[in-house]
């Protein structure tokens, strides 16, 4: 059984069709990358999965159950966690306190259980030494790691990562990829939107490519990256016969 299944999902903003008839199935334990040009509908698709936006038509199943009209907070409690492109932590709270809020409100843990869980997550995401630092004092990479940690603190079965590597150095990306791999190894399924292919391709086993809201390619990572259509649309590389 698929962990997540989308069937003929559509979303328009006026005359702009942001997501058009998208269908995909995500199996438990996978790391799936979503790529495509700016404006391709990637973040809109995430917003439909999490319930931040409502679908115009189509169906979304999670753990075999329809969630198409389920509110965002209930999807989170059911096991769908998500990070955002721009981290927006509670800046006046410490790193530890930010995770406690996520664990209690999103993971529905008691305060005592949340505290134990949060310590493990801080260690996993490399933030244990910053546990008592207010979020507003963190560096960019630390804020990115906090965004990831907050999503993990909700105890997700499915974790959606939205351009979490953006703005990081090569070394910072490599460290972040290692952390993401560890999270996946603990049984969390991951869907990752990312423009930094060097980061994404180290973790993703499969890719879905969106263009103008439509899925134009899907399959094993290397197969998709070698697809002439993907090369032309996403990387601007024309086939030899067109040059």
Could you report the per-residue pLDDT of 185-229, keeping only the tens digit for each? 999 999 999 988 889 999 999 999 999 999 999 999 999 999 998
As a whole number, the mean pLDDT across the chain is 93
Helix, strand, coil percentages (3-state) for the chain, rounded to 5, are: 40, 25, 35
Same domain for 125 and 25? no
Do 207 and 217 form a contact (C-beta atoms < 8 A)?
Answer: yes
Distance CA 67, CA 65 (A): 6
Last residue of a domain, one of 130, 154, 178: 154
Same domain for 194 and 174? yes
Same domain for 224 and 208? yes
What average pLDDT does range 74-94 have in this prediction? 94
Last residue of a domain, one of 131, 154, 177: 154
């Amino acid at each position: 059984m698929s962990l997540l299944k989308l069937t003929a999902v559509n979303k328009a903003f006026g005359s702009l069709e942001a997501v058009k008839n998208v269908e995909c199935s995500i199996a438990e334990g996978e790391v799936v990358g979503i790529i495509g040009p700016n404006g391709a509908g990637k973040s809109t698709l995430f917003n439909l999965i999490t319930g931040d936006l409502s679908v115009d038509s189509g169906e979304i199943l999670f753990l075999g159950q329809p969630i198409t009209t389920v509110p965002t907070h209930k999807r989170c409690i059911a096991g769908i966690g998500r990070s955002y492109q721009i981290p927006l932590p509670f800046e006046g709270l410490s790193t530890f306190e930010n995770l406690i809020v996520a664990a209690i409100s999103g993971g529905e843990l008691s305060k005592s259980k949340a505290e134990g869980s949060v310590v493990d997550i801080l260690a996993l995401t490399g933030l244990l030494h910053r546990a008592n630092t207010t979020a507003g004092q963190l560096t960019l990479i630390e804020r990115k790691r906090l965004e990831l940690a907050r999503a993990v603190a909700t105890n997700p079965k499915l974790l959606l990562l939205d351009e979490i590597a953006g703005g990081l150095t090569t070394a910072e990306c490599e460290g972040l990829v290692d952390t993401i791999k560890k999270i996946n190894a603990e049984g969390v399924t991951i869907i990752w939107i990312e423009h930094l292919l060097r980061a994404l391709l180290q973790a993703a086993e499969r890719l879905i490519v969106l263009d103008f809201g439509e899925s134009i390619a899907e399959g094993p990572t290397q197969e998709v990256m070698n697809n002439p259509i993907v090369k032309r649309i996403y990387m601007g590389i024309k086939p030899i016969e067109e040059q």
